[in-house]
Each structure stands twice: as C-alpha cells, then as structure tokens.
C-alpha cells in the first residue's frame, strides 16, 4: 500500500487517508464499469481501491427527456458532493457530462485513454442508418443525435428514450423502437455482443469529450497529484481543446452541438456542428490548426455565427 503526505483541507483539518482509495461513480452498469477501469489504473500505480455507487439526479428521474431537464451537472452533482465532504477520494465521470463551469475546489486531475468518440446505431439486423426501413422508429435522448439523424434520413420517426444502455437496448429488442443511437464507447466498455454500426463522424459529430473517462478530485487532495500519474497525454489534449471550444461557444450539455478534436502532428483537426434549439439552422466546420493561436482564431470566427443561432 502506498503512503501519502497528508495536506490540510481548507478547514484546516487533515485529509483522512483510508486503507483503500474510495472511488465514487453512478450506479449504472456503464458507470460502474468505468469506475472499474479507473480503479485498475490506480492499482497499477500501487493503490488499493473501493468503488462507492451513487445515485444521481439523472438516474432518479428516468422519464424526462434530458434536454428538458436542468441538465447542467444532472449526472455529476451528487457524486461531487461526496467528494467535497470527503466521503470519497475520487469521482469518476463521463467527461461529456461535466458542466463547463467546474465547481470551485474541484479539478479533473486525470483523463484516461479515450475510447471511440463516435455514435453508433443499434438495431436487430445491425444495419447502418441508411439500411433502416422507411419510417423506422429511432430512440435517442439527445437533440444533437435527433437532428443529425433527421438530416440524413428525414423519413425517420425519432422519439425520446431514457434509461441506461442496457435498458435502451432492451426496449429496442422488445420492439418499442426499431433502433437506438448510443455512444459507441459504452457498447465497447460493457463488452456487449449486439449488432451495431458506427455512424460516420462527419455526419454525426459527437458531443464534446464523448468517450473520455474523467477522474475528479478536490484540488488540495493528496489524490489530485497521484491521479495525474495516470493522465493520458493525447486524450488530455483533445479534452482541453473540446472544453475550451464548448466554453467559448457557450455550449451546454442540452444544446444540439457536436465538437470533436483529433490531435495530430504537426496539425490537429477540429470538427464543429452547432444547431439552433429547434434544429432549423446550423453552423458547422471542419478545419485544421497547428497552434493555440490558430485554434482561438477559429473559435473567434465561429462565435458570432453561433450567437446568431440563439
């Protein structure tokens, strides 16, 4: 077992170092799997771990469409409260669920290697979106996915669906839907043997930070520095660029917006598609940049156009 120097909390009390690192996560199968991935990474650097399941507001209310809820922090606030109170040491989040404004005193101290950032469509025959029958009923909780799907296939009937990954797939298998659109990373992490097709990233630009697992800690916690040892450099670059773009363009979790950065050397690629809330108008681009200055110039050019959508 590793030992840590014990700094003081803002209250002046010392942090309590437990025998095991307490990792908090939502109680869904996918969130617990992501917590297990984070725990494995912590064990690789010498720490024993304990996973603490937590119910979030988004898990308790499974009927309201996400874009109609006050979705800033709907999946993270309950876990973060335990972090602030010292009841857990590390919170594990899907990075795309973290609001643009992170609570004071908390920090994303590590991001793990990104899985697929793409969306995928799950259907009984495993066909792509173009292979669905005319008028097929497609389930999604995302306005972004809804509008992207209708742009490619205006004949589809896109309906709201809530629930965890396994619940949504079950509803499709029970014929409530012909297909559901999900993050491909969730299918991969759960190891589900279900027919599905990856959706083209140029048609379905994913949500910012989709496919990234984030580890959040209190900024003064001894685990803040420790968890940085498992930070994945290339994923961190993409994470930072996508968050900067989201904050600059004032994109919230409920907005129909896709932002993806693909890091490269010497140039990286930025893909953006942001729609008005009713889906009738959009701003989009795919552009390469080689420096922070070029990146900021792209965002500056986009800001006015995005502002006109609102």
Which of 22, 59, 253, 273 is labelled catalytic?
A: 253
Which of 33, 162, 171, 228 is labelled catalytic?
A: 162
The residue count of the chain comes to 310
Which of 97, 119, 148, 178 is labelled catalytic?
A: 97
CA–CA separation, 153 vs 144, rounded Å? 14
CA–CA separation, 194 vs 168, rounded Å? 12
Catalytic site residue 253? yes
Catalytic site residue 162? yes
Helix pair 165-173, 29-44: axis angle to 10 deg? 140
Which of 96, 146, 189, 273 is labelled catalytic?
A: 96
3-state secondary structure 16-38: CCCCCEEEEEECCHHHHHHHHHH
Q: Which residues of 157-176 are buried (b: 16+ CB within 10 A; e: fewer)?
A: ebebbbbbbeebbebbeeee
Catalytic site residue 43? no
Cα dihedral 172, 25, 52, 163, rounded to 10, equals -20
Which of 26, 114, 146, 168 is labelled catalytic?
A: 168
What are φ and ψ of residue 237, in 5° steps?
-60, -50
Catalytic site residue 236? no
- Cβ-contact 5, 72 below 8 angstroms: no
Catalytic site residue 144? yes
- Cβ-contact 275, 281 below 8 angstroms: yes
The residues annotated with a catalytic role in the active site are 96-97, 144-145, 162, 168, 253
């Amino acid at each position: 077992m590793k030992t840590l120097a014990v700094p003081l909390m803002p209250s002046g009390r010392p942090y309590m170092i437990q025998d095991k690192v307490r990792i908090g996560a939502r109680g869904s199968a996918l969130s617990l799997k992501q917590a297990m991935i984070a725990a494995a990474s912590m064990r690789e650097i010498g720490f024993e771990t304990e996973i603490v399941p937590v119910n979030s507001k988004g898990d308790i209310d499974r009927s309201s469409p996400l874009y109609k809820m006050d979705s800033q922090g709907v999946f993270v606030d309950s876990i973060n409260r335990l972090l602030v109170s010292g009841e857990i040491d590390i919170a594990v989040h899907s990075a795309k669920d973290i609001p643009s404004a992170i609570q004071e005193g908390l920090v994303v101290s590590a991001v793990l290697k990104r899985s697929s950032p793409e969306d995928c469509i799950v259907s009984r025959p495993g066909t792509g979106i173009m292979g669905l029958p005319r008028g097929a009923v497609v389930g999604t909780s995302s306005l972004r996915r809804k509008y992207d799907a209708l742009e490619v296939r205006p004949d589809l009937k896109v309906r709201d669906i809530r629930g965890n990954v396994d619940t949504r797939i079950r509803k499709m298998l029970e014929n409530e839907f012909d297909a559901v659109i999900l993050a491909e990373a969730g299918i991969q992490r759960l190891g589900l043997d279900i027919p599905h097709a990856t959706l083209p990233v140029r048609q379905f630009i994913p949500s910012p930070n989709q496919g990234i697992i984030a580890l959040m800690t209190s900024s003064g916690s001894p685990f803040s520095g420790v968890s940085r040892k498992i930070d994945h450099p290339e994923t961190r670059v993409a994470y930072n660029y996508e968050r900067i773009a989201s904050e600059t363009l004032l994109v919230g979790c409920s907005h129909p917006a896709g932002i993806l950065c693909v890091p490269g050397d010497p140039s990286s690629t930025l893909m953006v598609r942001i729609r008005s809330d009713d889906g009738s108008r959009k701003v989009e681009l795919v552009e390469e940049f080689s420096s922070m200055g070029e990146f900021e110039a792209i965002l500056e050019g986009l800001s006015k156009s995005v502002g006109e959508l609102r």
